[in-house]
Each structure stands twice: as C-alpha cells, then as structure tokens.
Amino acid sequence: MDGQTLTESLSDQELAERVLKAEERLSCLETTLAAVADEIDGLSMSSRCSKCEESLLLIKDGTLYCPYCGDGHSL
C-alpha cells in the first residue's frame, strides 16, 4: 500500500459499502442484545452512559447503571 492506510487505499464506493455493512452488523447486535435483555427477568436497556459514553445503561431492580464504568443510581 506504499505507506497508505487502508482507508486511503479504498474508493469512496468501497468505503460506503464497508460503512453500510458495519451499520447492518450494529443493528443486528442491538436487536440481539435487546432480545437477551428481555430474556433476563427485570432487565432492560436505556440510553448511552453520559459519564463514559462507552455503553448503554442497564435498568435492573430499580437501579440504572453502566456495566462499563459502574456509574449509576437508583430510580
């Protein structure tokens, strides 16, 4: 690749296709995660953690918490 990064060597069309595939995989993972949460009694998901922004918040037993950074509080 003569010093080029992978993204520099891809055409706009190839990049667009990669982004589309990544979005499709993300959607699939979100659907799967929501289904797994539904299978666990009393567990649901909320918005992205405002402290670390690395995870969605989980709600269980009246507590809202981030599984990544541990931030949370009771509802």
* 3 within a domain of the structure (yes/no): no
- What domain count does the chain have? 2
Please give the average per-residue pLDDT across 66-74, as a whole number.
95
Cα separation, 55 vs 36, whole angstroms: 16
The answer to whether residue 1 scores a pLDDT higher than 80 is: no
Measured distance between the N- and C-terminal CA atoms of the chain, rounded to whole angstroms = 53
50 and 73 together in one domain = yes
> pLDDT tens digit string along 13-66?
999 999 999 999 999 999 998 889 889 888 999 999 999 999 999 999 999 999
* 48 within a domain of the structure (yes/no): yes
Q: What is the pTM of this model?
A: 0.65
* 17 within a domain of the structure (yes/no): yes
Confidence of residue 9 (pLDDT cuts 50, 70, 90): confident
* 4 within a domain of the structure (yes/no): no
Cα separation, 53 vs 10, whole angstroms: 30
32 and 47 together in one domain = no
* Domain coverage including residue 66: 42-75
32 and 46 together in one domain = no
